[in-house]
Amino acid sequence: MPASELFDLLKEAQRIALEKHGVPNILQPGVIKELMIAEILGHDLLPQKDSADAKDKNGNAYEYLASIRRVDVTTNKGCSFQMDRVTRSNLTRVTRNKAFYFGIFKDHLQVDEIWKVEIPVVLAEVKRQLGKCKHDIAHVNFLLKWLEENGTKVFP
């Protein structure tokens, strides 16, 4: 298959994503995984980068984080999730949401598990990591062990 055929399929996928789901850029990092999580949870995707990731039928906002599970590796097994560019002054990125959902993927297009973590728990972890950070801005990481200890598996 020539690359041009692949590009034609991507253009068709983009047309459908915009028409059916309001997604203006399917190549935006994370948006396909977010769309997959939203569909499983029955949420509506909010594809704007500066907002929450999705909302439910009652208008509650949710943040999604996604990671691919690492298997067949000798170190750093499992997965980790990251919130980029977090500061003490933008914690509304956490508090504007009803909950966080963490999607664990088998590969780039297959959801393996989805976990839910309540906002007070996420906020406490964000503040803990910010408290240890030497800079004003941080990337907050949530490890699989933390997720399993603090979350509830909602899928499958």
User: pLDDT digit string (tens) for 40-55?
Assistant: 999 999 988 789 999 9
Cα separations (Å) of 82 from 3, 4, 13, 24, 103?
32, 34, 27, 24, 12
Output the six-digit token pair for 98.
């009803």
pLDDT recorded at residue 47? 87
Task: Give me the DSSP letters along 105-138.
Answer: EEETTEEEEEEEEEHHHHHHHHHHHHHH-SSSSE
pTM of the shown model: 0.93
In this structure, the dihedral spanned by the alpha carbons of residues 58, 60, 61 and 66, taken in order and rounded to 10 degrees, is: -80
Residues 102-136 have pLDDT tens digits of: 999 999 999 999 999 999 999 999 999 999 988 88
Q: What is the mean pLDDT of the chain?
A: 94
For residue 129, give Cα distances in angstroms to 77, 96, 124, 144: 22, 19, 9, 16
The fold adopted by the segment(s) 48-155 is PvuII Endonuclease; Chain A (3.40.210)
Structure tokens at 74: 């000798």
What pLDDT score does 139 carry? 93
> For residue 8, what pLDDT is reported?
96
Over residues 87-104, mean pLDDT: 96
Cα separation, 40 vs 26, whole angstroms = 18
Tokens read off for 115: 């976990």
